[in-house]
Structure 1
Amino acid sequence: MTDDKITVPEEAVKDPIERSWIRRLGPGLITGAADDDPSGIGTYSQAGAQFGFNLLWTLLLTYPLMAAIQLVSASIGRVTGKGLASNMRAHYPKSLLYGAVALLIVANVINIAADLSAMGAAMQLLVGMPQQFNVVLLGGLSVVLQIFVPYDRYARLLKWTALVLLAYVAVALIVPIHWGDVARAIVMPHFSLSSDYLTTIVAVLGTTISPYLFFWQASQEVEEMRSEPGQKPLRRFPQQAPAQLRRINFDTWVGMGVSNVIAFFIVLTAAATLHLHHIDVKTSADAAKALEPIGGRFAYALFALGIIGTGLLALPVLAGSAAYAAAGSFRWRSSLSLHLALARQFYSVIALSIVGGVAITFMHFDPIRALYWSAVINGVSAVPIMVIIMLLARNRHVMGEFAIKGPLAWGGWLATIAMAIAAVGLVVPN
């Protein structure tokens, strides 16, 4: 069998997802929503609490950059029918792949620990149970769901879990906000060359564009392809390309839009409350606690519930992306639709990532330091990974007639350059 066009029945070419716009939302929406994880909420809350409305403009900048690199990643998965790690293994030295994947897994485990810590603290605020008990409970629940719930149900569960992000829109509508000040800060923001201001910009950029999101969305496109009867890699079945590429484009722009809109509202809420009352926060749970005397019990409860909900959405993405990357590196069978007995190594990485995160929380680590080192590792690893992703996507031997070009290629390279600048900001002392 060659890599050329293959004739398939018309009913296999027709894409059922075109029947409903809701069905077009999947990997992109889940990826975007997972980006607003508890540690991200903490970063955005600190940005708003420290600088008020003056960093809202960063979320307008990150949206197109984030969408571009995620579109490139998703396209690689759907066109080739393989995840990023498998493609990297086929075209680049294994040492480069292993180093990138090792950094990804370390950063993900640290991020999982920070998320679990914030989720446990938020749950303690709401129900009073000990934080460490909550961490174990939530970590165990995430492992069980990923291993024992069939993929199609699990994907639907993650998609609807994204609705929890609306809690942050609701909070912003509850607290008093001077919208004229918001508009002025977006159009004419106050810039500063201070170390704290520049570091926070780097943190926001690093929070929105992270390597685990690239691996996850590319692998989820492969999962989606396998779960739909008649769907094949676009290189082999180009007849399916128009519908699938339209879906990926719609899904990714909506998903990254959701991510950045929610981040915008978190910064907005923190600026209108915490910054106004000169309240400093270190974690997302601190932000929830500080909201109660300002926005009332309802705003506080919504913010805390959002932390737990987004954490349950983010944990599978963090652990799953590590597992997909490891599986692609070592040619293990990898799919959330496979039974445990058929993909033991894949599910072992998922379980060990969560268990490792839980274990770190028992070390009573400083969450700010943990997030810092996670950001450093992500920032350092993101740049070479993004360069490889762009080279893969531009390579006709990999992508065939679907090699990216034009605005998408420029957008992907701009995102890569932005992350390179961010990485320099992270590793060079101020």
Structure 2
Amino acid sequence: MKVAEWWGRIRQHPLTKVGPGFVTGVADDDPSGIVTYSQAGAQFGLNMLWTMPLAYPLMSAVQVLCARIGRVTGQGLAANIKASFPPIVLVSLVGLLLVANILNIAADLAAMGEVASLVTGLNWHLMTALFVFITLILQILLPYHRYVYFLKWLTVSLLAYAAVLLTIHVPWDEVVWRTFVPSFEMNASAAAVIVGVFGTTISPYLFFWQASQEVEDMNLRHQKSLLDENDSVVQSELTRIKWDTWGGMFYSNLAAYFIILATALTLHTAGITDITTAAQAASALKPLAGDFAYWLFAAGILGVGLIGVPVLAGSAAYAVAEVFNWRSSLEDTAQQSKKFYTVIATSVLVALAIQYSPISPMKALFWSAVINGVVAVPLMVVILLLSAKPAVMGSFTASKIILFLGWLATGIMGIAAAWMFVG
């Protein structure tokens, strides 16, 4: 089969038709997120499953708002903040985002390197460097329309966590009951896990990424912002955003639910209640659920890591580029958008350098969570204000229901952030 024919078949596959919401949702379950979900299951068993049904409508509402901002205005989130708020707001939010993303990339790369080392037996530093090379090649050398197809195929890796459940006995009656009627003592350790789960599920880098991907898709299809489109296009696009985003977040949320469930039924049941790395979670599964579960869990970590790292680096680059009015598009060559790609490369390379520094990956993850906790709440307030502002959104301001869910999510994240610092 010729390369052109093969590529044509790939492009016609239904999976390639899904939009930015699907990729964004999977990027939410990055390796550092898997650590958090694994710890929730290992420490509290089935009693943390309730967090996912609660988080789903909240995370979906915020992501829908971000997608609408990007598609309606034809500009990314940072560009809209720049036009509507004082410079100090923009610089503070984007600066903190950049630092948090680099630390998060460092934690993700460490997790991928450690898991790959377990599987191959090769040095984990070598494997980490290999993943850095792969992600940079994908983002810098491949144009967006091919690069994003690759990301969409990698979303299949999340199915690994559902497959893990096929290797163990699942008491579904108890699972359903505990999902809605959990039983645990609300102490400092429980609060820390709940804060971690919500913090990794509703993350600032996803806001910037999805808005910018809507702009990329719009430009790729040679369309205009919805403010300048006719009614039929507007309704079609808003409907697409709704289904794509709610569907993508459901897929992400369901995978996170399965991770908590799988580790609850294996690690927690076996008395393993403290998980600090993704590699530890994967290796602990091997004697409990067998080689197949181990390989599935490890494959899932590597697959979502190859999505998560580019999304983290890309979201930071979009935001920084919009601050300085730089040309920014993954569809451009590196020559066309030098500064944009420089931010991507620098973010990933600095994260790689952290692997060789005294800073441990877990410390990087901790500080990333702290900074995300600081930036998430004011950023969500800004997103909600933009979404309700006719001067920005024209007649496409967000509905009262979506705004209610968005403000509810902001309130919960605010409480979580406060608890993180007080606790």
Q: Which category describes the TM-score, using the shorter chain as reference length?
A: over 0.9
1:340 counterpart (329, 334, 347): 334
Matches within 5 A, 1:225-244: 225-229=218-222, 231-239=223-231, 240-244=233-237
**1:86-143, CA deviations, whole angstroms, 9 ceiling, x for partnerless residues?**
0111111111111110100110000000000000001011111100001111011101
| Deviation of 1:404 (Å) | 1.1
CA distance in 2, matches of 1:275, 1:49: 4
Partner of 2:156: 163
Question: Aligned pairs, how many?
Answer: 410
Partner of 2:294: 300
**1:271-329, CA deviations, whole angstroms, 9 ceiling, x for partnerless residues?**
00000011132111100000000111111111111111110011110000000000111
CA distance in 1, matches of 2:251, 2:156: 10
| Deviation of 1:364 (Å) | 4.9
| Deviation of 1:187 (Å) | 2.5
Q: 2:225 is aligned with what amino acid?
A: P
Matches within 5 A, 1:45-60: 45-60=38-53
Partner of 1:104: 97
Residue 211 of structure 1 contacts residue 381 of structure 1 at CA under 8 Å; is this kept in 2?
yes
Q: Which runs of 4+ in 1 moved over 6 A?
A: none
2:242 counterpart (224, 246, 249): 249
Partner of 2:35: 42
Describe the shift of the 1:410–1:318 C-alpha distance in structure 2 as closer, same or farther (beyond 3 A): same
Structure 1 residue 387 corresponds to structure 2 residue 387? no
Matches within 5 A, 1:282-293: 282-293=276-287
CA distance in 1, matches of 2:384, 2:324: 22
Residue 24 of structure 1 contacts residue 250 of structure 1 at CA under 8 Å; is this kept in 2?
no
Specify the SS of the correspondent of 1:341: coil
| Deviation of 1:357 (Å) | 0.8
| Deviation of 1:180 (Å) | 2.3
CA distance in 1, matches of 2:230, 2:253: 32
What is the identity percentage for the equivalent residue pairs of Structure 1 and Structure 2?
Answer: 51
Partner of 1:78: 71
Partner of 1:172: 165
**1:379-428, CA deviations, whole angstroms, 9 ceiling, x for partnerless residues?**
11011111111111110000000011221111111111111111111111
| Deviation of 1:24 (Å) | 5.1
1:416 counterpart (394, 400, 410): 410
Structure 1 residue 357 corresponds to structure 2 residue 351? yes
Deviation larger for 183-192 or 387-396: 183-192
Q: 1:145 is aligned with what amino acid?
A: L
Specify the SS of the correspondent of 2:100: helix
CA RMSD of aligned residues (A): 1.3
Residue 124 of structure 1 contacts residue 134 of structure 1 at CA under 8 Å; is this kept in 2?
yes
Residue 24 of structure 1 contacts residue 247 of structure 1 at CA under 8 Å; is this kept in 2?
no
Describe the shift of the 1:20–1:253 C-alpha distance in structure 2 as closer, same or farther (beyond 3 A): farther
Specify the SS of the correspondent of 2:290: helix
CA distance in 2, matches of 1:238, 1:321: 30
Deviation larger for 359-368 or 275-284: 359-368
| Deviation of 1:367 (Å) | 3.0
Q: 1:377 is aligned with what amino acid?
A: I
Partner of 1:33: 26
Residue 38 of structure 2 contacts residue 281 of structure 2 at CA under 8 Å; is this kept in 1?
yes
1:375 counterpart (362, 369, 376): 369
CA distance in 2, matches of 1:397, 1:300: 52
CA distance in 2, matches of 1:247, 1:20: 18
Structure 1 residue 211 corresponds to structure 2 residue 204? yes
Describe the shift of the 1:183–1:368 C-alpha distance in structure 2 as closer, same or farther (beyond 3 A): same
Residue 16 of structure 2 contacts residue 152 of structure 2 at CA under 8 Å; is this kept in 1?
no
**1:239-282, CA deviations, whole angstroms, 9 ceiling, x for partnerless residues?**
31111001100100110001100000000000000000111321
Q: 1:154 is aligned with what amino acid?
A: Y
1:366 counterpart (360, 363, 374): 360
Residue 83 of structure 1 contacts residue 219 of structure 1 at CA under 8 Å; is this kept in 2?
yes
Specify the SS of the correspondent of 2:183: coil
Describe the shift of the 1:20–1:143 C-alpha distance in structure 2 as closer, same or farther (beyond 3 A): closer
1:331 counterpart (301, 325, 328): 325
Specify the SS of the correspondent of 1:402: coil
Specify the SS of the correspondent of 2:328: coil
CA distance in 2, matches of 1:66, 1:173: 28
Matches within 5 A, 1:3-18: none
Q: 2:219 is aligned with what amino acid?
A: R
Specify the SS of the correspondent of 1:192: coil
Residue 88 of structure 1 contacts residue 97 of structure 1 at CA under 8 Å; is this kept in 2?
yes
Residue 355 of structure 2 contacts residue 361 of structure 2 at CA under 8 Å; is this kept in 1?
no
Structure 1 residue 190 corresponds to structure 2 residue 167? no
Partner of 2:395: 401
Partner of 2:4: none
**1:339-397, CA deviations, whole angstroms, 9 ceiling, x for partnerless residues?**
11111110000001100111111125333332221111001101111111111111000
Deviation larger for 40-49 or 404-413: 404-413
CA distance in 2, matches of 1:83, 1:254: 22
Describe the shift of the 1:358–1:169 C-alpha distance in structure 2 as closer, same or farther (beyond 3 A): same
Residue 39 of structure 1 contacts residue 111 of structure 1 at CA under 8 Å; is this kept in 2?
yes
CA distance in 2, matches of 1:281, 1:389: 34
Residue 24 of structure 1 contacts residue 251 of structure 1 at CA under 8 Å; is this kept in 2?
no
2:59 counterpart (52, 60, 66): 66
CA distance in 2, matches of 1:347, 1:237: 31
